């Protein structure tokens, strides 16, 4: 019989952050682009689109889907995407914050740096992982794999496929499974510095806050959880249940995402 998992009560700090899953608190992934136009959609699976003022960058939020963030950039508002990033429902939004922060900081109406890479070396996209001592494994079937010291996170890079729309880099964390494996999937033309900004959040040593009572049991077996010191002031903005939008229009994630059968139509 497996050992029972004893978790603290209340809020906990979770480390490493890539094992934190979704929070029950406000979603920080959209904070860097909160000043961009928001478009709330009543029909279809996409519930919210946040776009740069010229609509070259689009961040779609699919609150009850599997890939709940879908991010793209194009040379103009109506052109096909130059690159895309899909991020699934197990991904801590603090990691997504790394990508949206980089986009918000880099965006300028006259700039195209968020469309193009200044380097063609695949290592530049995952350099933060290599700098942190993550292990590069031997090339296998055209794929390079880089794995964290605890073997619970990594990157897979396709260095053979020449299709510019193909999935080229996957950053992942957590054990395999629909409810536990977090994934970022970047297409081939994604600028390396934007992938690196995301990868840097995987090795950010700062823990993140989660509600102990809603923390997934399987992740609790793998992550380090420590109680957050109690403060007198009541915490506001916490939500439970399915992902929803708050009064400010920023999505609020549930600790346990809805299954595909329960998503909005």
* CB-neighbour burial class of residue 172 (10 A; exposed 0-12, middle 13-18, buried 19+): buried
pLDDT given at position 178: 87
The residue segments making up the domain with residue 57 are: 11-231
Question: In a 3-state reduction of DSSP, which class is residue 224?
Answer: strand
What number of helices (H) and strands (E) belong to the chain? Answer: 4, 15
Q: In sequence order, what are the residues at sequence separation of 6 or more whose Cβ sits closer than 8 angstroms to the Cβ of residue 201?
A: 17, 94, 95, 97, 98
Residue 203 lies in a domain: yes
| Beta strand extents in 16-152 (DSSP E only) | 38-40, 48-51, 57-61, 67-73, 83-88, 135-136, 143-147
Residue 236 lies in a domain: no
Checking 1-9 for CB contacts under 8 A at 24+ apart, the result is 5/217, 5/220, 5/221, 7/212, 7/213, 7/215, 7/220, 7/225, 8/212, 8/225, 8/226, 8/227, 9/212, 9/213, 9/227
Residue 254 lies in a domain: no
Domains in the chain, number: 1
Establish whether the linkage from the previous residue to 16 is cis, with ω within 30° of 0.
yes
- pTM equals 0.84
Residue 208 lies in a domain: yes
pLDDT given at position 120: 82
pLDDT given at position 252: 47
Residue 255 lies in a domain: no
Residue 125 lies in a domain: yes
Residue 214 lies in a domain: yes
Mean pLDDT in each 10-residue stretch from start to end of the chain (265 residues)? 52 96 83 97 92 98 88 97 96 97 96 88 96 95 96 96 93 93 97 97 96 91 91 51 43 38 31
Residue 238 lies in a domain: no
Contact call for residues 245 and 252 (beta carbons, < 8 A): yes
Which has the closest alpha carbon to 39: 242, 243, 194, 245?
A: 245
pLDDT given at position 162: 86
């Amino acid at each position: 019989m497996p050992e029972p998992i004893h978790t603290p009560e209340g809020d906990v700090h979770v480390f490493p952050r890539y094992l934190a899953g979704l929070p029950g608190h406000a979603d920080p992934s959209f904070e860097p682009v909160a000043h961009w136009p928001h478009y709330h959609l009543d029909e279809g699976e996409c519930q919210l689109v946040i776009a740069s003022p010229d609509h070259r960058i689009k961040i779609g939020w699919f609150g009850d889907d599997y890939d709940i963030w879908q991010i793209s950039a194009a040379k103009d508002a109506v052109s096909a995407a130059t690159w895309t990033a899909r991020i699934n429902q197990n991904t801590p939004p603090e990691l997504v914050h790394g990508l949206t922060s980089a986009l918000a900081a880099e965006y300028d109406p006259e700039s195209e740096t968020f469309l193009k890479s200044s380097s063609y070396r695949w290592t530049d996209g995952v350099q933060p992982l290599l700098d942190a001592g993550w292990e590069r494994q031997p090339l296998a079937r055209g794929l390079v794999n880089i794995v964290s010291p605890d073997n619970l996170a990594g990157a897979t890079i396709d260095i053979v496929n020449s299709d510019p729309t193909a999935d080229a880099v996957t950053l992942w964390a957590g054990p395999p499974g629909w409810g536990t494996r977090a994934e970022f999937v970047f297409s081939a033309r994604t600028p390396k510095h934007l992938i690196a900004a995301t990868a840097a959040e995987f090795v950010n040593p700062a823990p993140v806050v989660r509600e102990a009572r809603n923390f997934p049991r399987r992740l609790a077996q793998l992550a380090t959880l420590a109680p957050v010191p109690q403060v007198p002031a009541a915490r506001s903005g916490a939500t439970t249940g399915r992902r929803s939008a708050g009064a400010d229009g920023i999505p609020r994630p549930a600790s346990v995402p809805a299954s595909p059968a329960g998503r909005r139509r």
